[in-house]
Structure 1
Amino acid sequence: MDQSGDVIVVGSGVIGLTTAVVLAESGRRVRVWAGEPAERATSAVAGALWWPYRIEPKALAREWALQSLSVYEELAERPAETGVRMVEGVMGESRLDEQGPWAAARLPGLRASTAEEYAGTGLWARLPLLDMPVHLRWLRERFLRAGGVVEVRTVTDLAEAAAPVVVNCTGIGARRLVPDPAVRPVRGQLVIVENPGVTTWIVSTDETAGTTTYLFPQPDRLVLGGTTDEDDWSLTPDPAVAAEIVKRCAVLRPEIAGARVLGHRVGLRPVRDTVRLEREPLPDGRLLVHNYGHGGAGITVAWGCAREAAGLASR
């Protein structure tokens, strides 16, 4: 059987599944190798607000982000199906003149927040907010409809992927599999609570305390965060940290203080100084395409990176 069109995508987070969708819909025969089901991937834990934040290289990341924004705007027309909604909120400690002309041109209604909306300096914006369990399920189903196959299997070496083209979307796993010591974890802890009526999101950064506090309203819950614990591999929620997260969020929205806690989540962001998105011809004639190191901006750049990775896989 001719296998020239066969591709194995290793990794089933938002980067892996989005890349697999683009490849499968271009006519390739694609298998996704997932170390665990998508609902247990790091992406499933993400707060999942679209915003090009702390990702390098900046110029490329902005282009990838804007491509992704166009897709999310379309998907937001079917929120129950895709998990994508356009939601208004405040990006704290941000100013219009810091964003560059792209922001005002591409984000209608972007403006300085008012004192009633936010106590500090901020931007009022309408941005894509993703319900990640729903979105990952939708991506998987779209991939399967395009003829793709998902195989749950543990990969200990990328050489196991016997296909003409292998796309490495392993996130934090790339540290061990490539191996690439430049990939490191930045731990994020979240608290999930009943939503007491919050309809807008807030991201607030306290440079002095070194904390970023955020709250994201989802259809059936409110997601509170968060932490940025560098080089911390622990996946166990810390009760003291959870209490502090709720306390910080309640400063922003007092009604959160009495909200019933539904659960706790921890994820490890795959941070790298720059995203690695490149092709690596292998000695045996196969092609390895790397697409990892997106940190906490995976959903923000997913479609732009997926399209570039698919292009690299077809040359």
Structure 2
Amino acid sequence: MDTEPSDEVIVVGGGIAGLTTAVMLAESGRRVEVWARESAGRTTSAVAGGLWWPYRIEPEPLVGAWALESLAVYEALAARPRETGVRLLDGVHRGVRLDELGEWAGRVPGLREVAGGLAARLPVIDMPVHLGWLRERLAKAGGAVREREVTDLAAVPAPVVVNCTGLGARSLVPDPAVRPVRGQLVVVANPGVGTWYTSADHSSATSTYFIPQPGGLLLGGTAEEDDWSLEPDPDTAAAIVARCAAVRPEIAGARVLGHRVGLRPARDAVRLERETLPDGRVIVHNYGHGGAGVTVAWGCAREAAALTTPAA
């Protein structure tokens, strides 16, 4: 860049956290570029299941507020599903009770106890469509996305840098507290399933869920700590289909359309804070969202954007 005006921000990372934060900043009048190592379609966000729900993310009191703020945004975006990729769908979280959740759960519209779990009508986000829509919204606000790899945050030529690098923060910051939690999905031709379903044990490396998306029914899943493999495992895929078919038998014969693997950027607590460099420039960190980057995206983006201002 030739100039470095005081209102200029470079957001490093082109997944859901980076794009949402960039949109928030650009629409507030800041000059924003997103520097992404890879296209949005190759990010962890692109392979996410896309169901709004706080999953494998801490600390819960802050997460609840971020998630509720994001929920309100998604509910509004669901009025334009083809454009935004956001729809509201009914479903059940099996094995969950309201009294096991934080205060935030009491503020989720329609969330109620049913036999064996909780039922609700929640946002389901078609991630490839939604990421594309975010990039278009950023462009309309005057922002841009560049494919550029960053190896040193302090060397990024802007007065304010926002670090939304997810798992990349492990080596880039460096922050060894960020670690991968591997998730594998199977995409099948939807045999007529119109509702989502989850059954997750946070102490287990496996879970059972299915989420209807326009491109097929997403079946999951796994939560394999410290596993860096991006290659789908055939045995794991077969076990995923079997678990889902035990809930909805028609899934057993569904045609497999593809396999997805993503590495959730887990951390004991989301890092959302401002760091001032020796030369006075600012880095705002917004990473470590685990399995709920989509769920908290807008709440975290608002807080990260606020931290970029001199008064922060």
Say whether the fold is shared (TM-score over 0.5).
yes
Equivalent of 1:92 in 91, 94, 100: 94
Task: Classify the secondary structure of the residue corresponding to 1:216.
Answer: strand
Equivalent of 1:234 in 201, 222, 229: 229
Equivalent of 2:152 in 134, 152, 157: 157
Task: Classify the secondary structure of the residue corresponding to 1:273.
Answer: coil
- Identity across aligned pairs (percent)? 69
* CA shift digits 1:203-230 (9 cap, x unpaired): 0135786521110001231000111111
Q: Structure 2 regions of 5+ residues with no counterpart?
A: none
Asked if 1:167 is matched to 2:162, the reply is yes
Q: C-alpha distance in 2, partners of 1:45/1:102? A: 26
The residue type equivalent to 1:248 in the other structure is R
TM-score (norm 1): 0.95
Equivalent of 1:128 in 115, 120, 123: 123
C-alpha deviation, 1:159, in angstroms? 2.4
Q: C-alpha distance in 2, partners of 1:301/1:105? A: 15
Task: Classify the secondary structure of the residue corresponding to 1:190.
Answer: strand
Q: C-alpha distance in 1, partners of 2:203/2:40? A: 36
Equivalent of 1:42 in 44, 53, 63: 44
Equivalent of 1:138 in 117, 133, 152: 133
Structural mapping, 1:146-295, within 5 Å: 146-206=141-201, 210-295=205-290
C-alpha deviation, 1:156, in angstroms? 1.5
The residue type equivalent to 1:306 in the other structure is A
The residue type equivalent to 1:134 in the other structure is V
The answer (yes or no) to whether the contact 2:65–2:104 under 8 Å persists in 1 is no
The answer (yes or no) to whether the contact 2:66–2:296 under 8 Å persists in 1 is yes
The residue type equivalent to 1:247 in the other structure is A
Q: C-alpha distance in 2, partners of 1:178/1:158? A: 7
Residue 65 of structure 1 corresponds to 67
RMSD: 1.4
The residue type equivalent to 2:6 in the other structure is S
Length, aligned pairs only: 308
Greater than 6 Å deviation, 4+ residue runs: none
C-alpha deviation, 1:38, in angstroms? 0.4
TM-score (norm 2): 0.96
Task: Classify the secondary structure of the residue corresponding to 1:33.
Answer: strand
Q: C-alpha distance in 1, partners of 2:221/2:245? A: 13
